Amino acid sequence: MIGTVFWAFLRTGLLGFGGGAAIAPAMHREAVERHGWVSDEAFGDILALSNTLPGPSAPQMAAVIGYQAAGLAGALAAVAALVIPMAAAAVIVISWIFAAVGESASRLLLLKKATVGIFPLVAAMVTRLVSSFFRKGGRELGTTRMIALSALAFLLIDDGRYGPVTMPFSINNAYVILVMIYLSMTNAAPWRPVAKRLAFLPAILFLVMHADPASEWGLSAPWPFKAGVALLLLGLAVAALAATPSCEGRAGTGLSLKATARDLGRLWAVVLPAGAAIVLLSPLLRQGPFLGLMGGMVFTGLMTFGGGPVFIPLAIDLLAGPRSQVFLYSQERLMQYFAIINSLPSPIVTKTAAISGFDMVCDLAGRGIADNGVLAVAGNLSQGTVTFWAVLGGAMMVVAMVLPGITNSLLAYASFDRLKRSPAMQALSLYILPVLIAIFLSVLINFLRTSAATIGAFPGRSALWGLGQTSFLFGLFWWLQGYKKKIPDVAVIAAAMIWGLTVL
C-alpha cells in the first residue's frame, strides 16, 4: 500500500502546476476515482480545510489522504512523492540554467516550450472537476442558487495580486471559506429566522474588513476591532454548533484524534533530534544565516494560507533585498527563479524552499551566486562536501516549510470527526462547493491566459497563434479526459511536452 500511495502522488506531482487548487483535480483523480481512499464528500472537506489552515495546501491534502490510506507511513510517502522529486528537479534545473556562464535565454526558452503544453491539460482537468462539483451542488442546492453563490464567490476571492487575474474585491480564499463554514453552522442551528438573518451581519463586516479596496480607500479597521469581529464569529459558530442536536447516523472521517496525535508525536520525536544532530555536525548548517532562513521558512509556511499566490509576496519579504529578513537574492534574481519554478510541476512553496536552502549553503561555502550579503565561512571545503551539505540544507528547508502545516491538517481533520456528525456540518460541503468552484474557475483562467501569453511570446509567434494553440490543446485534452482509463497519464504528459518542443 505504501508503494501505491507513493506512485499515486508522484503522478499527481507531475500534473501539479501551480500547486494548491491547481493540483486538486489530479489528486481527486488518484484518491477518489482511481483508488477510492476517500469519498467525494471527504475530498471536498479536505480541500476546504487545507485552504483555511496555516501552511501550503497541497502537502496538507496529500498528508491527510495518505494518512487515510496507509497511516503515518502513507502520509509521509504521499508528501515525499508530491514535493521531493520536483524540489530536486528545481535545484538541478536552476543550477543548470544559472551555471558558470550565468543566465541562458535559450535554455529557459527550451524549458518553457517543454512545459507550457501541459498548462491546457491541467486546465481541462480543472474544468472536469468544476463540472462535477457544479452538478453535485445543483442537485442539492438548486442550479440557480449554485450559479449565484459561485458568481458571488468568484467576485470576492483573491486569486493573487501577483498573477494575471485580480478579483474586484480581492479577499483571501481562506477568509471566504471560513465565512461559508460559519454560515453553514448558523443556518443549521435551531434559531429563529430573525436570529439567522442577523448572523449574516458580522460575516459581511468580516469580509469587508479583509477586502483589498477597504485598505486602498483608507478604511482599514484597527486590529483590536478586527480581532473582536473574528471572536464574535467564532463565538456564534460555537453557540450554533452546541445548540444543534447531533446526528448519530452521520459518518465521520474515521480518524482517531488520540491515535493521530500519538503518531505525530512520534514523528516529531524523530525529526527534531535528527535535525539538531545534522545541524551540529555541519560547519555550514549551524551558521546563523542558515538557521535564520530556517526560522523564516517555518514562519512563512505558517503564514501561507493556500499556496503560491499568498506565498510569493511572503517569499519576497523573506528572501529578496536588503530589507528582507534574510538577504539571499536580489529581487530580479528571485523573479527569475519564480519564472523557472512556475514552469515545473508541484507546489511552488516547496521548490522555493529547496533552492533557497541549497543556495544558502553554497553561499556560506563561497560557492554561491555571490550577489547578496551572506559571507562565506568555510571556503576550504571540497565541492563534493559542499554539494552534500547543500542538498541536506535544501531538504531541511522543505521539512521546515511543510511539517508544521501537515501537523495542523492531520490534527484538524481528526478533530473534524465529531463535528461531521452534527447537522450544522452536514451542509458544509454544499456551502463550500461554490467557493471551490470559484477558486477553480480562477485557476482555469490563469492557466489558459498564461499558456496563450507564453506561446504567443515565443520567437516568430503571435498572440493569435498563442490563443489558437491554447484553445486547440484545451479542446483536445478535454476530449481525451473521456478516455482517461485507456490512456496513461504519463503518455498524455509526454505528448504535451513533445508538442511543445516540436510545434510551439
Domain borders along the chain are: 1-189+255-504
Q: Is the pLDDT of residue 62 over 50?
A: yes
Question: Mean of the pLDDT values across residues 73-85?
Answer: 90
Question: Mean of the pLDDT values across residues 36-43?
Answer: 83
The one-character DSSP state at 354 is: H
> For 128-163, what is each residue's pLDDT tens digit?
778 877 887 787 777 888 888 888 888 777 544 434
3-class secondary-structure state, position 157: strand
**What integer best gives the mean pLDDT of the chain?**
78
- Specify the length of the chain in residues: 504
Three-state secondary structure string covering 94-156:
HHHHCECCECCHHHHHHHHHHHHCHHHHHHHHHHHHHHHHHHHHHHHHCHHHHHHHHHHHHHH
Three cell numbers, residue 178: 471560513
Q: Is the pLDDT of residue 101 over 50?
A: no
Question: Mean of the pLDDT values across residues 253-265?
Answer: 80
**12/304 Cα distance (integer angstroms):** 21
Q: Give pLDDT, residue 270.
A: 92
Q: Is the pLDDT of residue 422 over 60?
A: no
The one-character DSSP state at 182 is: H
> For 306-355, what is each residue's pLDDT tens digit?
666 557 666 777 787 555 667 777 766 776 677 677 777 788 888 889 99
Question: Mean of the pLDDT values across residues 211-234?
Answer: 73
pTM of the model: 0.69
Q: Give pLDDT, residue 293.
A: 87
